[in-house]
Homo-oligomer: A and B are copies of this chain.
């Protein structure tokens, strides 16, 4: 019996669906491929998994190498491995997804990316490989995820207003939410700490600032946190 595996080995890659928010639309970070196959096509940042790194590390590394976008919180989405999804060779990809504040990251093309850009999540250009399918799944997952857990705090400054966080939810879900109900529910979760401070220098009544209370949040997660807008 052999002690090492002998098999035709597929290549293994990771791909990253990074969603970005500013004050309007949910966007996706894409690169323009410089090489065949699909040279010139837009695609997800990603690449080969190296021998000594975890899948999650590979995702971070490839994202940073190709786009300069770093330190993104990524979660595993799913794996895609149909034979034929890459025209050259059998390639299995493990997809990750995450959400960032768009203005925090100034992507610049590098490695084998010819260009980098943000595209509206609901209307990207045609993508290389099966990346269109991956983006669609990531979007559904992000929405489902948002319904279960308070995502989005990473997107905001450490101190933020309730309207800001509501804006995040509205952008991701793609629909308006009732201000009073949203506030009531979010505050009821107990994961926000109200600060004594308010906004400065805004041309309207200054809003109270809040802070995410990671400690409280972790405590609640253990009892099965659930946050449904």
Which residues of chain A have a CB within 8 Å of any CB of chain B?
Answer: 1, 3-5, 7-12, 35-36, 48-55, 76, 78-79, 81-83, 88-92, 94
Apart from A4-B88, A12-B92, what are 14 other A-B pairs with CB-CB below 8 Å?
A3-B88, A5-B11, A5-B89, A5-B91, A7-B11, A9-B12, A10-B12, A10-B49, A10-B51, A12-B81, A49-B92, A54-B83, A76-B79, A81-B94
Chain B residue, CB-CB nearest to A83: B52
**Are A79 and B82 in touch, CB under 8 angstroms?**
no
Give min CB distance, A142 to chain B, whole Å: 16
**Are A55 and B36 in touch, CB under 8 angstroms?**
no
Name A's interface SS: loop
Complex contacts, A10 vs chain B, CB 8 Å:
9, 12, 49, 51
Chain B residue, CB-CB nearest to A85: B54
Give min CB distance, A181 to chain B, whole Å: 19
Give min CB distance, A99 to chain B, whole Å: 19
**Are A81 and B1 in touch, CB under 8 angstroms?**
no
Cross-chain pairs A/B with CB under 8 angstroms, 14 sampled: A1-B35, A5-B48, A5-B91, A7-B48, A8-B51, A9-B11, A12-B81, A49-B81, A55-B82, A55-B92, A76-B78, A76-B79, A78-B78, A79-B94
Give min CB distance, A43 to chain B, whole Å: 15
Complex contacts, A78 vs chain B, CB 8 Å:
76, 78
Complex contacts, A7 vs chain B, CB 8 Å:
11, 48, 50
Give min CB distance, A110 to chain B, whole Å: 16
Give min CB distance, A209 to chain B, whole Å: 34
